[in-house]
Amino acid sequence: MEIIKMSQNLSELPEIHSYDALEVTAFNIYNNHFSSIPEAIFAMKNLTNLNISVNTITKLPKEIGELSQLKIIDFGHNKMKELPRDFFKLSNLEDYVYLHDNLFEAVPDCFDQLPKIKYLNLSGNQLKQLPKSVGVLSDLQELRLMDNHLDQLPETLKALTNLRELYLKNNQLTSFVFPETLWGKLRVLDLEKNNLVQLGLDFSQLSGLQRLNLRSNQLAKLPAELGKAQQLIELDLRSNHLTELPEEILQLKQLRRLDLRWNHELKRPSWLKELAAQDCVIYY
């Protein structure tokens, strides 16, 4: 086993012929000035961990599919515009797959070929649609989609039964309706800074939800079913158009933080005192 981490400020690899490429299992060129992936990497057939993040790489060559032993990748903070189909030959990817902060406008609908992924980060791109095949990733625990241009999500996401955290901040969603969701293990749902006017979830199935962020949307009301999210600890409702709150929020016995600021038409219900008596800090 050999792990290689290159120093910063490089734009090309130094001579590394002294290393046996087949012995290298982890390679890291994080935070350098590479505009392309060094060809020497493709000779490292036993790589399991590859970090090329924080460079200026513009293209992912098809040879990436030859690194069949890869389990963890970080390709974030580059300038890549296309994800080649050869990328999906990496069927051993099973942990972190970070593709965030690139220039992807679309990605192939081939995620069913990467069934072992647990953490997928596509944030900070220019995606207008999410591939339906993401919903096939039954082992997925964390999905990050912040800072894209998504205005809808595929219904296939409801089948992500092991999902723990879902981040959708700063997209263009107008509704979030998954009435038949199977997200019983979901702990974090972040929908901040969208255009939500409708929230349709079966909160009785979201039995593990602890943090719900709805800040900076267009919500005028909340469903009474919210009171069924019995494990909810933090609820952020800042900067919406709420005029009233469902009294069922009182049923949230684990709630410790409720933020209601910048809902200018909101009438303060008398039962908020009871909620505060349950050790919930309320920001109004």
pLDDT of residue 18: 44
pLDDT in tens, the chain (284 residues): 456 666 566 666 655 554 578 889 999 999 999 999 999 999 999 999 999 999 999 999 999 999 999 999 999 999 999 999 999 999 999 999 999 999 999 999 999 999 999 999 999 999 999 999 999 999 999 999 999 999 999 999 999 999 999 999 999 999 998 877 889 999 999 999 999 999 999 898 898 999 999 999 999 999 999 999 999 999 999 999 999 999 999 999 999 999 999 999 999 999 999 999 999 999 99
User: Which pair of structure tokens corresponds to residue 229?
Assistant: 């999210």
CATH: 3.40.1180.10, 3.80.10.10, 3.40.50.11810, 2.40.50.140. Which one for 173-284? 3.80.10.10
pLDDT of residue 182: 84
pLDDT of residue 5: 65
178-194 b/e (C-beta count within 10 Å ≥ 16 → b): beebbbebbbbbbbbbb
pLDDT of residue 187: 98
What is the C-alpha to C-alpha distance for residues 145 and 169, in angstroms, rounded to an integer?
Answer: 7
The residues that bridge with 166 in the sheet, in sequence order, are: 143, 189
Give the global pTM: 0.95
CATH number of the 1-151 domain: 3.80.10.10
User: Which pair of structure tokens corresponds to residue 133?
Assistant: 């095949």
Tokens 């060809």 -> residue: 39
Identify each DSSP E strand in 196-276 by its residue range: 198-201, 211-213, 234-236, 257-259
Domain boundaries, the chain: 1-151, 173-284
What is the C-alpha to C-alpha distance for residues 73 and 55, in angstroms, rounded to an integer?
Answer: 14
One-letter amino acid for residue 44 of the chain: M
User: Which pair of structure tokens corresponds to residue 48?
Assistant: 């399991």
Element of type H or E holding 64: none
Residues, the chain: 284
pLDDT of residue 226: 96
What is the C-alpha to C-alpha distance for residues 257 and 211, in angstroms, rounded to an integer?
Answer: 10
